Amino acid sequence: MEPDDAYILSLSLGIGFGLVYGVVSYLTYRVALNRSPQTFMVVAFGGMAARLFVAAAAVALVLAFAPVLPMVFIVSFFAVFAMALTLEITLLHRQQTRQAVQRS
């Protein structure tokens, strides 16, 4: 594989994995919204923990078996991952704020 091909593959896989993480995060959040406050927290944070373990395993597998440039893959994945995680935490915080306002 030529260096340019490895770079494109690494960048594409990193961004792709980050986007998949973000989409699954959003879907988990949408499922959690229709639950009671206690169940919401279990689904939201349980889903977050499960996604983190799956993401770590997927990154490890890609680094071990795919012909990627590790730094390019990791940086591109974590850039998108950080944006998705920020959005997820923002949505969770807004939901908690709404619930607190409704209770008072």
Which spans in the chain are helix H? 3-33, 37-65, 70-103
- Total number of domains in the chain: 1
Distances (CA, A) of 96 to 31, 72, 92, 99: 15, 36, 6, 5
CA distance 15 to 36: 34
User: At a CB cut-off of 8 Å and minimum separation 6, what does 71 contact?
Assistant: none
- pLDDT for position 91: 82
| 32: containing domain | 3-103
- pLDDT for position 34: 76
- pLDDT for position 28: 87
Q: Name residues of the chain where pLDDT drops below 70.
A: 1
CA atoms lying within 13 Å on the CB side of residue 5 = 4
Q: Pick the closest to residue 76 from 10, 3, 2 (CA basis).
A: 10
- pLDDT for position 70: 96
